[in-house]
Amino acid sequence: MITGKLIIITAPSGSGKTTLVKRLLASSEKLEFSISACTRNPRNGEIHGKDYYFYDEDTFRKLIAEDAFVEWEMVYTGKYYGTLKSEMQRIWDAGKSPLVDIDVMGALVVRDKYPGNCLTIFIEAPSIDELRRRLIARGTETEQTLEERVNKAIHELTVAPNFDHVIINDDLDRAEAELSKIVESFLLN
């Protein structure tokens, strides 16, 4: 088994991480999105095998029993997410580096499984008020899930210093430029 470089991007929900990840993937042929498995329902327009591998809970549990995951977690109440070993290997075998977009705790687990060849980046919204505003504007949350995401974000911010880089997403173009520079330099060395 040959492993290569690995890039982990994480952020509290509502930090603008997904947009930054999409832009980064579009700008670099050396990177490929690592598709996670999850048990939540697909949102409008999401495709199995592109955005996530959408599985029911039984299938997900079977994968846990087979030791198929680098890490897995119940990220939100009743919803499991996990990084598949086979997915990372598929990308390395294609001569590329996986870009892993996962939650903060999962990011630390993956990093510790692949020490040495891993770049970890934490994306932060300018403030909790701004993060809350962005989540409301996105229109995907109920009052209860909004509070769950905001409380999780407050806790996750305390873990930010454990990452190689923290990027404040105050302006999308500026944050994208900073992110690209960090990733390019990691891939070159």
Among 14, 20, 106, 120, binds ligand 5GP (CB under 6 A): 106
Binding flag, residue 152, ligand 5GP (CB under 6 A): no
User: Given the complex with ligand 5GP, which of 42 and 126 has the nearer CB atom?
Assistant: 42
- d(C-alpha 60, C-alpha 36), whole Å: 11
- d(C-alpha 154, C-alpha 71), whole Å: 23
Among 24, 31, 75, 153, binds ligand 5GP (CB under 6 A): 75
* The token pair that represents 60 in the structure block: 């997900």
Binding flag, residue 88, ligand 5GP (CB under 6 A): no
Binding flag, residue 163, ligand 5GP (CB under 6 A): no
Please, are residues 5 and 186 in contact by the beta-carbon 8 Å criterion? yes
Please, are residues 152 and 105 in contact by the beta-carbon 8 Å criterion? no
Q: How many residues bind ligand 5GP (CB under 6 A)?
A: 13
Strands of the 6-10 sheet, one edge to the other: 31-33, 97-101, 6-10, 118-124, 165-168
Binding flag, residue 14, ligand 5GP (CB under 6 A): no
Q: Interface with ligand 5GP by CB under 6 A: which range of 80-88, 124-132, 165-173, 179-187?
A: 80-88
Binding flag, residue 36, ligand 5GP (CB under 6 A): yes
Binding flag, residue 13, ligand 5GP (CB under 6 A): yes
Residue 30: which region, alpha, beta or left (left: phi > 0; alpha: psi -120 to 50)?
A: alpha
Binding flag, residue 103, ligand 5GP (CB under 6 A): yes
Shortest spacing between CB 189 and ligand 5GP, in angstroms: 26
User: Given the complex with ligand 5GP, which of 73 and 178 has the nearer CB atom?
Assistant: 73
Q: Is the dihedral of CA 112, 114, 118, 124 positive or negative?
A: negative
**Cα separation values, 61 from 29, 40, 81, Å:** 34, 14, 11
User: Given the complex with ligand 5GP, which of 46 and 185 has the nearer CB atom?
Assistant: 46
Which residues of the chain form contacts with ligand 5GP (CB under 6 A)?
Answer: 13, 36, 40, 71, 73, 75, 81-83, 101-103, 106
